[in-house]
Amino acid sequence: MTHPIIAREGWLVLLAAFSAAILATVFLGAWSIPFWIWAVFALQFFRDPARVPPSDADAVISPADGRIVAVEKVRDSYLDRDALKISVFMNVFNVHSNKSPVDGEIKGLWYTPGSFVNADLDKASTENERNALWIQTARGDVTSVQIAGLIARRILCYVRVGDKLARGQRYGFIRFGSRVDIYLPTSARAEVSIGQKVTGGRTILARW
């Protein structure tokens, strides 16, 4: 199956945006510029380029494009364990499709309603609307958490308990500015630092 260049989650939005821009051009002339700005913004937001993950079996890859905002030892409340947490913040100019950081099987899934504070803040991990996946691998358990942001109002997840994911496989999407937290066993070694820009499906976040 050919990978879509534009995420399917944005097809209706883009149809509406470009239709409005064309109609505005016909009836409003130069006043249509704001409509075209919105249409171009929507086009770049919903882009979804294909990515080839690294072949290194020891690598845990980034689930999203963005910037690293946390690399720390914390308590993983989903699996009740100490863990290495690595967080990726996505702004509105990043690709927003989410990809599996590892090869594994979905053993648990938890959706938690919440608020919509800035996803760049640490409290977003515990206060915002979020959707967590427990991925069991041959190397250890991984928790991948999609977190809504200040503007984001829709978390989309397309997998269920029992599904198997390949590293780099697309499994969800978050609309308009958000965050993904990854919880790894404490034996994992981080390969990124705070402030570093990462590419979903490609950048190595940690190694087993």
What would the DSSP string read from start to end of 84-152?
EEEEEEE-TTS--EEE-SSSEEEEEEEEE--B---TTSTTHHHHB-EEEEEEE-SS-EEEEEEEE-SS-
What range defines the domain where residue 23 resides?
8-45
Q: Based on the domain organization, do 32 and 67 belong to the same domain?
A: no
**Residues 179-188, mean pLDDT to the nearest whole number:** 96
Q: How confident is the model at residue 164 (pLDDT cuts 50, 70, 90)?
A: very high
| Per-residue model confidence as pLDDT tens digits over 12-66 | 889 999 999 999 999 999 999 999 999 998 888 888 888 889 988 899 999 999 9
Closest CA to 172 of 4, 6, 7, 5: 7
Q: Are 175 and 154 in contact (CB under 8 A)?
A: yes
Q: Based on the domain organization, do 15 and 97 belong to the same domain?
A: no
Give the active site residue among 125, 178, 187, 193: 178
Q: Based on the domain organization, do 37 and 74 belong to the same domain?
A: no
**CB proximity list for 9: less than 8 A, separation 6 or greater:** 46, 156, 173, 175
Q: At what angle do helices 33-45 and 11-28 cross, to 10 degrees?
A: 160
Look up the CATH number of the domain holding residue 148.
2.70.70.10
- 187 as an active site residue: the answer is no
Total domain count for the chain?
Answer: 2
Query: Does residue 181 sit within a domain?
Result: yes
Q: Based on the domain organization, do 102 and 178 belong to the same domain?
A: yes
Q: Based on the domain organization, do 170 and 88 belong to the same domain?
A: yes
Q: What angle do CA 46, 18, 7 make, to 5 degrees?
A: 20
**pTM score of the predicted model:** 0.85
Q: How confident is the model at residue 94 (pLDDT cuts 50, 70, 90)?
A: confident
Query: Does residue 184 sit within a domain?
Result: yes
